[in-house]
Chain A
């Protein structure tokens, strides 16, 4: 069965801290994605990666960076966390870069920035 795991289900950080969110997939997928989900706004794409060391900005990349050193792992970095980054963060992967391909999501990390 396909599996996407995220390092934490809940995380509380302080304003200004550097935050790392880790995502690992075991499906040998080429593509990985980071979304944030906020009430009333649906899911919004932050960054995606179509290959190791490759990344593309999504709709809301400001305040975030990503790292993909290995195929199975995609990290989201908040360089200096702010309260408006309090949100649910979802990682996903898919086998190809086609938009219509199924995306497999992790359970999410609920981040609170105080």
Chain B
């Protein structure tokens, strides 16, 4: 499984765009990049998943360069309620079993 590296914490202000970068140098050909969000006292929640280029949904955008050795989660115009831990995972597509590995994540603190 590809190891991921992301910043321990980030601070932002309401209304700003936040970009959290994740490094995954050893990503394999069939690996997908997945992000989860965890609010205090709750379980993680799936945000977005992508393989290459750009993926966008109602919550976030995910940018993946051509070499796929890193990815950036972009949260547009954050609010206080976006304060959470964000986890970057690399998961193999087409494989079965217990392959989800959550690291320490990035603590995002949004201030007013």
Residues of A within 8 A of B (CB): 4, 9, 33, 35, 40-43, 45, 48, 50, 56, 58-59, 90-92, 96-100, 102-108
Contacts and interface: CB of A to CB of B under 8 A. Distances in A.
Contacts of A41: 104
B103 interface: yes
B93 A100 contact: yes
B102 A42 contact: yes
A98 to B, nearest CB: 6
B44 A105 contact: yes
A48 B97 CA distance: 8
Nearest to A110: B41
Contact of A98 (B42, B95, B101, B103): B95
Interface of B: 32, 34, 41-46, 49, 87, 91-105
Contact of B98 (A4, A48, A90, A106): A48
B43 A105 contact: yes
A42 B46 contact: no
Nearest to A42: B102
Nearest to A31: B96
A98 B96 contact: yes
Q: By CB atoms of chain A within 10 A, which of B41, B44, B87 has the most?
A: B44
B93 A107 contact: no
A103 B44 CA distance: 9
Nearest to B34: A100
